Amino acid sequence: MNRPRERPGRRTRTAPPRRYWANELGTVASVDQSNVRYGVTVRFEKVNYQGVNSNNYAVDELIEVEAPKAKAKAKAKAKAKAKA
């Protein structure tokens, strides 16, 4: 299953209302490319009552808020390409 929308580093908001981190912002830590229902691991700033700060979600349970920040090399390459 191809999951082009979710990549590590993206800021997402969780959609399921019955979970501890409902409507919280988190960062995608990893994406399991196999055919797993809850293959996207999201890390949060705050911890839950067990001291855990990550949870697995399905792709359709996440709302993308912000793309990952470009690294310095990518920024320099984009600037050089724009000048040309």
* 32 occurs within a structural domain: yes
Strands 11-14 and 62-66: antiparallel
| Cβ atoms of residues 16 and 25 within 8 Å | no
**CATH, residue 55:** 2.30.30.50
Dihedral in degrees, nearest 10, Cα atoms 16, 19, 24, 25: -80
* 2 occurs within a structural domain: no
pTM for the whole thing?
Answer: 0.70
* 67 occurs within a structural domain: yes
* 5 occurs within a structural domain: no
pLDDT digits (tens, 9 = 90+) for 32-55: 888 889 999 999 999 999 999 999
pLDDT value at position 2? 39
Domain count, the chain: 1
Q: For the chain, which ranges sit under pLDDT 70?
A: 1-6, 68-79, 81, 83-84
